[in-house]
Structure 1
Amino acid sequence: MHSQTVTTLPMLNPKKTPLAYKILVVMAMMILMGGSLIGLMTYINIGFSETFFNDWLTSFLLAAVTVMPAGFILMAVLTQIVEKWLPDTSEKKRNIIVGLFMAFTMESAMALSTSINNMGFNSYSALFSHWLDALLAALPLGLTLMVITSLTIKPKIERFLKS
């Protein structure tokens, strides 16, 4: 009688994605999307001058520590709400809904932080005017970026961040 040796392979445990990689991906998205939108808003607020890059950078940093973290939290919460309220709707349609809402919300908040950084609070009517101009100028770009992101990148990013 032959004795068979059964070799068992240890279970392959997929490695978790290092936190540093997750942070880098989120930072890259913030810089690409937020940086381009805030650049456009800064240009609308003050035009191109010798101080443009400094004005853009300070506006970007202000949004990066206030608006963008709030946006990531809002997107996660909104995604859960839309999934709960529209369970029979396809993921693609739910992502479009989230993307449209996020584009308008984030554009409004970034336009406000950029206008505050560039104009200050000296005149509320001037601040409102600059906010509205920046919002209306950047909204088409923001909507485009958000819809593309929601349909293509968001599902992959969510899986990546959960890994």
Structure 2
Amino acid sequence: LEAIRACSEHLVSFGGHAMAAGLKIEKANIAAFTAAFEEYAQQNLDEEKLVSRLDIDGVCSISDMSQSVVKELSLLEPTGQGNPRPLFATCGVRWMSPPRRVGAKGDHLQIAITDNTASVRCIGFGMGRLEKKLLESDGFNVAYEPQINTYNGNSSVQFVLSDIQFE
């Protein structure tokens, strides 16, 4: 929002908050706004601000994430901006079944992983591009939100991947 405010002379109106913003601009001012916005970004953004950071709540083995533990975690709800979903990590995992791209455009990733204590199915939204790197990897670390997946009346733990770090 600070960047938009700094370029507001080119706008009809704008507003927003930390998680979203909106603006109204006349077509004739788009080029000037774009130039001012890019200049603001160059002057005010450094590499540290551009690197996303995950706040991991706990590091555990796959076997630690039983259905009962995941159900207990749901007691922390409702989650949102002031109360984010718990994020966990498991290190030194490898794939059990080859990763594969899923979704209409192959943008997402489906994979089963193990850490030698247990195995779990995972879905990585927007991670389809990592398929080849995973196939070539001997081991990796995952950050995820655990959830209960129910399909055809059968429930199991599933990890919704937030990130994959290669060893």
Q: TM > 0.5 between the two?
A: no
> How high is the TM-score relative to the length of structure 2?
0.25
Structure having the larger proportion of residues in strand: 2
> How high is the TM-score relative to the length of structure 1?
0.26
Structure having the larger proportion of residues in helix: 1
